[in-house]
Every structure is written in C-alpha cells, then in structure tokens.
Amino acid sequence: MIPELNPRQRAWVEVSPVAIRANARALCQHLGPRTQLMAVVKADGYGHGAETVARAALQGGATSLGVATLQEGLELRRAGLEAPVLLLSNLNETDDLRTCLHWRLMPTLSSLRDAQLCNELAANSGRRFDVQLKIDTGMARLGCSLSDSHQTAAGLQNLEHLNLAGIYSHLACADEPDDALTSLQQERFVSMLSALPQAGSNITRHLANSAGTLLNRELHHDLVRVGLALYGHAPASHLSNVIPLQPALAVRARVSLIRVVPAGTGVSYGHRFITQRPTRLAVVGIGYADGVLRSLSGHIHALHRNRQLPQVGAITMDQLLLDATDAAELEQGDIVTLLGQDGDLELSPQSWSNHCGSIPWEILCGFKRRLPRVEV
C-alpha cells in the first residue's frame, strides 16, 4: 500500500486558527459596541487559506467576509460558509452578477448603470439583490466620484429589486504617520453620508482598513474591514502596540542535503557568493516558485534551534542554501524556519519586505499553492 504524502515532506506553511480567533477577538474588543468586524480573506486569506481563516475569524467575532474575486466568493459558499460576503472589486458581466445573485454574494457597485443591471437581474429572478455602493473619497481607484455620489445613492435606493446594504470607501494613506489625507477622506465620507435620505439609516457604513481601525475610532463607523491585522501584523510600526496581535503563519522547510566545500567555492547560480572558509552548506527544499523571492538572496536567515543561519547564494526556483558552518547540530532531514518563531527568535514578513523593497501584504500573498497549508 502506497502511503499518503506527508504535507511536511519538503516545505509547508503552518497556519494557526487559534491566532486568527485571538486576533479577531482583540479587534472586536477594540471596536465600539455598534461596530462590526469584516474579515478580509481575499488572496486565499492572505496566503493562510481562505476557508480556514474565515471559519476562525467568524468564531472570533467577525460577522462578515470580504473577498476580491467572484471565484473567491464561490469557494467560500461551496465550503458551506453562510456569512455575508462582499466582493470588493467591480463586476460588469451579466453572467457574473447573476452568479452573485444566485450565491448571495454582495457585489460592489460604482455606477448607477451597474445598479440598473443588477435590478433587472433581480426582477427576473423574483428575489431582492443585496449590493453595496463604493464612493471614491481619495483613492482614485474603484467607486463613483464624490460629485456623483448623492445622485447615485438616491437612484440606487429607488430601484425596487435592490437592497442597498452598504456604502463604503477606502483609505489611501492611513498607515502613514501624520497623514492629512485620512482626515480629509473621513470628512468627505461623513459629508456624503449626512446627505442621505432617512431611508438610508439601515445602510452599513464603512471606511476603515486595518490601519484605519488601529489609528482612530472615529473612522470605525458601522463596520471595519480588516485584513493584515487579522493575520497578526500591524500595518505600520507606529500602530504595532495598539492591540495585542499574534502572527498566524510560519513557513518551514526541510534540509535535503548537507555538503562541505572548501574556501573559494562559488555557490548557486552566478556564483554571487564565494565561500571565504571551509563551509558546511545546507540545501533546503524551498525557492522562489514557492514564494521566497529571488531578490531576497543573501539577505535573509533561517532559524534552527534558536540559532540564525544565513542564506547564501542565489535563491533558485526550488531550493536555497544556508551557511551551516556554525551549526554542527544541523543534519539532513532537519526542519528550519523561514518565517515564524523558533525558540526566542522570530522572523516576520516585515523583515523580508524591508530587504526587497516590498510590503508584508505582498510577502504573505506570495506563498504558492504547492506549499501545503498545515493547521497547527
């Protein structure tokens, strides 16, 4: 009988639902009693696994879920999740909107034209269509213009077969200290909301992302949309101590080979690293095809038994090398930590992004499906 493949055979991502639940609870405690938490689980739950994160976040107090694509929404529904789901991007095709209606997914609307199409689909189906309207208050991305917002909202509310479940906008610079735009966006959003007719009193209003949620309670409104903080990371250093957060992800891999080479040996593609002494190299089965960016070559470490092991040479598609000269205890088959905690040491997505001109969001979203997700 052929044994099942061990998910920890080569390299894998460990995900802690316990940490996700704890972060959701900490966020809910930070919010006022009238503000709800939306767990943003797009991009496969920021690389953690959308279904796992969604279930843990709902258990921790979240009341709704946010995704970016129709496929992401369908995957949640097919997994049996029944919480409200908002698609945070625009849909324009009739069949896509019909699919939203069938699976009870809320599309984001940026124009009255899109709203009228949704109304026609709902009329033909015999059921009301929950939708949300996005307003551009300063991001210059999705959403109807501020000058058209009152007319669009009023027109949408007059469409018989639609239920305007929410009106929202998105903060552009809330993670930057002493930013003036966030206050201006809040002012624009509140001004727009104040002009809504009384019939709009049941509409959920939301503006804050993770940064806005941690920055200022005045940005909370009826709901906050939290991504990065849900996964245990503050979006900026000046927001890192607002609430306790637990990182929910670790990346680990096995040593596939140990080899000893003399001084003067070129290592990996291009020989960008030349050994300066007899060197004990550990070959580790993870590379840029898994999400360990090639631009990190020579800049990161791995952890083993509370010791840092420098990565040397170019990171390749499927493998990388560590200098294990000072770690005589490291052997073939041992597990090293690329991100996460080992003893008293911890490596964060921020530490990687600092080295490659990126952001923690991109690091977390970059771990590919060929890395098994293992719940711990």
For residue 375, give the amino acid letter.
Answer: E
Q: What is the pLDDT of residues 273-288, one digit of tens each?
A: 999 999 999 999 999 9
pLDDT of 3 > 90? The answer is no
**What pLDDT, on the 0 to 100 scale, is given for residue 202?**
86
pLDDT tens per residue across span 292-328 = 999 999 999 999 999 999 999 999 999 999 999 999 9
Out of 42, 134, 168, 231, which one is annotated catalytic? Answer: 42
- Going along the chain from its start, the domains and CATH numbers come out as 17-238 (3.20.20.10), 249-375 (2.40.37.10)
Q: How confident is the model at residue 198 (pLDDT cuts 50, 70, 90)?
A: low
pLDDT (0 to 100) of residue 199: 54
What pLDDT shows up at residue 237?
A: 94
- Give me the catalytic one of 46, 168, 231, 269: 269
**Is 269 tagged catalytic?**
yes
- Res. 2 pLDDT band, cuts 50 70 90: confident
Residues with Cβ within 8 Å of residue 5, at least 6 apart in sequence: none
| Residue type at position 7 | P
Tell me the two tokens of residue 188. Answer: 């624009």
The answer on pLDDT for 168 being more than 90 is yes
Q: Report residue 248's pLDDT band, with 50, 70 and 90 as the boundaries.
A: very high
288 a catalytic residue: no
54/42 Cα distance (integer angstroms): 10
Q: What is the pLDDT of residue 20?
A: 98
Evaluate if residue 71 carries a pLDDT over 60. yes
